[in-house]
A and B are shown apart, each in its own frame.
Chain A
Amino acid sequence: DTGVSQDPRHKITKRGQNVTFRCDPISEHNRLYWYRQTLGQGPEFLTYFQNEAQLEKSRLLSDRFSAERPKGSFSTLEIQRTEQGDSAMYLCASSLRAQAEGTGELFFGEGSRLTVL
């Protein structure tokens, strides 16, 4: 079990460019989540998948953000036309679907830090 891995760990880009982050969850986990964290704040929910189905998207996720999990394994989070306000740590987490909905803990990756100049 290698844990949740995220790539790249750091990304510096210019405003207006597109960026893509990848997340590889723990292999037996069927749920995958994306969160965003800024300095001094707790993680904010963006979206989550069960297998390949995207079940919920936060209103924080503007049209410039898209997430996919095409084969129910790894996921990508793409940000188009980046803005300075997109600068944050993007966290990926995975979990098993627990017997009782909502009771399973999350396993987080180390995050992908985005800096938009």
Chain B
Amino acid sequence: GESVGLHLPTLSVQEGDNSIINCAYSNSASDYFIWYKQESGKGPQFIIDIRSNMDKRQGQRVTVLLNKTVKHLSLQIAATQPGDSAVYFCAEKKNFGNEKLTFGTGTRLTIIP
């Protein structure tokens, strides 16, 4: 069935290193993908998005890569900082015009000082 999943539920990274969080999706009709960050006690915060006609998009210290061949999405965070510790969710939007988002289960990123 359709699903959005994450390869790793937890990830620990040394401060200053780069982090890579992965996400797999199964619906090739998905045309829009988003990464969210959720800190403890807060709602999710938009990080970066990418449309299916792109394979890479960069933001400030973050890069999202989309591999449609293997239906894989990743979020790269450069030079991680303690403030990057949070749960990261990928989300997909299925079918053009359908606003409903399907979220992955999340990966908890812990930055080790």
A and B physically associate: no
Residues of A participating in the B interface, judged by any CB pair closer than 8 Å: none
